[in-house]
Chains A and B, each alone.
Chain A
Amino acid sequence: MRDHEIELIAGLAEGTLDDETAARALIESSAEALAEFQAQKSALTALSAALPAEMSEHERAALRRDVWTALGKESQPVVGTPWYYRLSYAAAGLLVVVGLVSVLNRPGDDERAGLSRTETAELSADAADTTIAQAGEDETMRDADGDALGGGAAPDTTSTMSLPPEEFFADEAQRVRLGQPQDPSSSGDGQLEEDTVCVDTAGLSGYRVVGEVISDTEPDGTAVTFIVAVPPGGIDDSTPVAFVLADRCEVATIER
């Protein structure tokens, strides 16, 4: 059957036709058309028996609570480490240095006494620098409330941040190639310009921004925003799709 005949039959089943003459003639003249009408009618009758899918008040409250909780974590301001925290680290480091110096200068120990005053001063200076640097790095270990996120060594700030699994990028790239709306609205003009600059900064000059995606929200409320960009020209099955970290303007990956 042709599309317009199916549409006519569906309209008859829905009861939405202004004039049912043509549709009725069709189903009376064709077994196939009659079967189509019965199938459409049967499905519509079954679906009409559905109860309204309403949220309970408990579910509604839970939804509101969870949304606002997640938004609250996103908008929580980052509070710097109080100055006295940094001072305390430096003070502790100096105490260690003083103690070390006193031990090294203890009379009667030939090895330690072999250190010249210059060498001792250099050692002290290095220790102090390391301690103050440690204090600076340790700032990043504290959250907005000033609570330490965990003991141990200062984080390696040059290490690669945790990225979503490969499937995330593969799936999003496929959506771009299929022209599916991964980002329901295109970027506003101002945002588009910012994103283009960021992509350019990442070393992908000429790439065209097609939107942004946000990775899954982590339990701690963080999520990573990626700018999605493609080379100039049309998009087809073989188009490479680049994902640029929006906050760093660095390429996370290019899906080929």
Chain B
Amino acid sequence: MTAAAPELDLLRRVVDGDHDAFDEIMRRHEGRVFSVCLRIMGDREQALDAAQDTFLTVFRKAHQFKAKSAVGTWIYRIAVNTCYDQIRKAKRRAADSMPDYLDLIDESAEAAVDSAGLRPDIERALLSLPQEFRAAIVLADMEGISLPETAEILGVPLGTVKSRVFRGRRQLAERLGNQSR
């Protein structure tokens, strides 16, 4: 019953306290949520933290879902925003402890780029993009999500997401070209 249930029904059952329904929602989306978070953040530990926070938010906010989008779209929007929040907090921590952080970023950079399943140069170039471009490319080009759904996830117009994807690709190519010189 749970395995074949439409996701809106599952979410309603989550609101009613059905843990099996929430478990099923996690099962269906944890892979992609982790993948999106990993591509955006470039670190497996941080991606797992973001994924955890994502599903906790899904559980807490399930009663507020108004079915204006698909459940999956809503979940991935939470995931992207959670990643943005964590990146912002990491930047604040870095600003608070600048000298130490500068040492750490050099030490952890190689570990980070090796953990996300991309060639190091590609990973480095992707992580160097502005986070809005990076998120758009991760969703549209790496996760294979349609541009209209990507726009919905990111909460921006379709034209904006197209611009971010195309400009992001251009910047990625430029940085890969610069790294190879």
User: Chain A interface mostly helix, strand, loop or mixed?
Assistant: helix
Contact A214 B35 (CB under 8 A): no
Judge whether A54 and B169 touch: CB under 8 Å.
no
Taking CB as reference atom, which chain B residue is nearest A185?
B64
Do B64 and A49 touch across chains, with their CB atoms under 8 A apart?
A: no
Please, what's the 1-or-0 string for A24-48, where 1 marks a CB less than 8 Å from any CB in chain B? 0000000000001011101110110
Taking CB atoms and an 8 Å cut-off, the chain A residues in 43-65 that contact chain B are 43-44, 46-47, 49-55, 59-60, 62-64
Question: Are the C-beta atoms of B51 and A63 separated by less than 8 Å?
Answer: yes
A200 within 8 Å of B (CB atoms): no
Q: Check B56–A53 contact: CB distance below 8 A.
A: no
Using Cβ atoms and an 8 Å threshold, which residues of chain A touch B60?
Answer: 74, 214
Interface size on B, residues (CB 8 A): 53
Per DSSP, are chain B's interface residues mostly helix, strand or loop, or mixed? Answer: helix
**Cross-chain contact of B118 among A51, A185, A217 (Cβ < 8 A):** A51
Question: Given A44-B169, A54-B35, A184-B78, is A70 in contact with B52 using a C-beta cutoff of 8 Å?
Answer: yes
Residue ID in chain B nearest A46 by CB atoms: B122
Which of A55, A74, A191 is within 8 Å of B64, CB to CB? A191
Shortest beta-carbon distance from A65 to chain B in Å: 10
The CA-CA distance from A3 to B164 in the complex, in Å, is: 12
Q: Find out whether the CB atom of A183 lies under 8 angstroms from the CB atom of B117.
A: no
Asked if A183 meets B174 with Cβ closer than 8 Å, knowing A47-B142, A50-B118, A70-B52, the reply is no
With known contacts A54-B35, A180-B155, A217–B170 Cβ distance under 8 A: no
Q: With A and B bound together, what is the CA distance between A214 and B168 in angstroms?
A: 32
Instruction: Specify which chain B residues have a CB less than 8 angstroms from the CB of A180 in the assembled complex.
Output: 81, 155
A184 to B78, CA, bound (A): 6
Task: Tell me if B166 and A62 are in contact (CB < 8 A).
Answer: no
Whole-angstrom distance between the Cβ of A183 and the nearest chain B Cβ: 7
Q: Which residues of chain B have a CB within 8 Å of any CB of chain A?
A: 26, 30-31, 34-35, 38-39, 44, 48, 51-53, 55-57, 59-61, 63-66, 68, 74, 77-78, 81, 88, 92, 116-119, 122, 125-126, 137, 141-142, 155, 159, 162-163, 165-166, 168-170, 172-174, 176-177
Please give 15 more A-B residue pairs, beta carbons under 8 A apart, in addition to A49-B122, A186-B64.
A7-B166, A38-B173, A39-B170, A40-B170, A43-B176, A46-B125, A47-B122, A50-B122, A51-B118, A52-B117, A71-B59, A181-B155, A182-B81, A184-B74, A188-B66
Binding site for B on A (CB under 8 A): 3, 6-7, 10, 36, 38-40, 42-44, 46-47, 49-55, 59-60, 62-64, 66-67, 70-71, 74, 167, 171, 180-188, 191, 212, 214, 217
Q: List 18 A-B contacts (CB under 8 A).
A: A6-B166, A10-B166, A36-B170, A40-B169, A43-B170, A44-B169, A46-B119, A47-B137, A53-B117, A59-B34, A59-B44, A60-B30, A63-B52, A67-B59, A184-B57, A184-B74, A184-B78, A188-B63
5 residue pairs, one from A and one from B, having the closest CB atoms: A51-B117, A43-B169, A39-B173, A53-B35, A42-B173
